[in-house]
Structure 1
């Protein structure tokens, strides 16, 4: 008699399932973020005259302020995406139990 034991040698791969959140490029907040950044850039480009009219006032909405607002928008967008992704406590890996 032989005392060999047969083992299941098939490779099982855990498939990664999607969560309840969409990829960031497919969300409305992504497109709103892009539109807001574009609006800030256009406003900074159009508003003001950089002090070239001789008044010496300078640009009321310059590049420095534009970068500050874009930074604020980026931080807000990152927080919103983090909150969206942290809402699920389910396991994201499907295991084959057959």
Structure 2
């Protein structure tokens, strides 16, 4: 037995879905579209050029040896990967490549 509401509608009618349709979007741009990639590449090139240009000191000792330059490149890479990871951590969508 169903009871009638004051408007004359049956109370056994299912509730209407009130959810709105939203468009799914990623929260971040792909890595190749960001300025942080450009800054990273420029920084790596600058470190390697600086290591090449800075020559021997007066005592014949290399003031910026290659091993130190590659250490700095490694640290830059770790920083870049951490920044991309933090940027993507709030992203809800999976990894779809927009170029395909």
Give the corresponding residue for 2:75. Answer: 72
Which structure carries more relative contact order (alpha carbon 8 Å, separation 6+)? 1
SS at match of 1:22: coil
Q: TM-score, normalised by structure 2?
A: 0.63
- Per-residue CA deviation, residues 38-71 of structure 1 (Å, 9 max, x unaligned), is 000000000023x7x7x34x11101010000000
Q: TM-score, normalised by structure 1?
A: 0.64
| Long gaps (5+) in structure 1 | 1-16, 93-98
Higher strand share: 1
Q: How many residues align?
A: 71
Larger radius of gyration: 2
Q: Hey, which bits of structure 1, 4+ residues long, moved more than 6 A? A: none
CA pair 26-59 structure 1, distance change in 2 beyond 3 A: same
CA RMSD of aligned residues (A): 1.9
